[in-house]
Amino acid sequence: MNNWISAVFSPTGGCSAIATAIAGARMGKRIDLCAPVEPQEVPTWVPVLAVVPVYGGRVPAVAIQRLRALKGQGGPAIAVVVYGNRAYEDALLELKTTLTESGFAVIAAAAFIAEHSIIRSIAPGRPDADDLAKCVEFGAAVEAKLAQDAPGTVEVPGNAEYRPLPQMPATPLVTDACGGCGMCARKCPVGAIPLSDPRSTDAARCILCMRCVAICPRKARILPPPMEQAFTAKLTAIASEPKQPELFI
């Protein structure tokens, strides 16, 4: 049955790869949460697969805001968070709560690992073949649960008093390699880069999702070196041991 809706916030591609592997041939409509979403009602018989990244133990506020545009009628949803091998803390509970408040019954959930979006040397190459195989297994288990007469909801870890959203310590720098093509401005999920001046970044809007760094054809956007060094030292100390996916069905 290829009628699943997938709602995905994937600035650097990790969440997209995981959503595709979970849904497989069941994939129907795809909603890009990196762009504004029109309000819409979801029929009760259409499962919604929501896949979002974890930033500092939380779901990015813009992803939550856009996900709320989907209104459930008591139908099933699958909540999935993707994190960079440190911890997902309150993010999975936050995602489940958002879906529940929007009228969905969360019948399955999972936390998967992807290469860290800021420091690429953390969890490099993930999701790897084993991760993607777990995604496929998870998708099949969800499909089997959906076939039940009354699939129950799941409980997930997290603190209902969510940890504060992290403050961004800096924004990416623009080097002399910038050609002013404006791709970063057109693709920024939060509109932090003006098309009229793509060499600038609105620090008040930037969520450090790293999409501009990832997609720049000239590799002209980089992290400030002192910030990259600090992040690398911190994450290497606390996130070097490979984590494994956690599934809740």
Summarize the confidence of residues 92-120 as an average pLDDT: 97
Count other Cβ atoms within 10 Å, centred on residue 109.
27
Q: Give the range among 9-13, 135-139, 160-164, 236-240 with minimum mean pLDDT.
A: 236-240
Residues 119 and 239: their CA atoms lie apart, in Å, by 11
Tokens 């019948």 identify what position? 107
pLDDT digits (tens, 9 = 90+) for 147-177: 999 899 999 999 999 999 888 778 999 999 9
- What is the domain partition of the chain in residue ranges? 4-157+244-248, 173-222
Bridge partners of 50, per DSSP, are 7, 79
The confidence score (pLDDT) of residue 2 equals: 63
Among candidates 7, 5, 21, which has minimal Cα distance to 52?
7
**pLDDT of 28 strictly over 70:** yes
Residues 240 and 225: their CA atoms lie apart, in Å, by 21
Coil, helix or strand at residue 140: helix
Which class does domain 173-222 fall in?
alpha beta
Residues 73 and 13: their CA atoms lie apart, in Å, by 30
Q: Residues 6 or more apart from 174 whose CB is under 8 A from it?
A: 198, 199, 200, 201, 220, 221
Same fold, 4-157+244-248 and 173-222: no
pLDDT class for 133, splitting at 50, 70, 90?
very high
CATH number, domain 4-157+244-248: 3.40.50.360
pTM (2 d.p.): 0.96
Summarize the confidence of residues 200-227 as an average pLDDT: 95
**pLDDT of 140 strictly over 80:** yes
| Burial class, 179, CB count within 10 angstroms (exposed 0-12 / middle 13-18 / buried 19+) | exposed
The confidence score (pLDDT) of residue 1 equals: 56
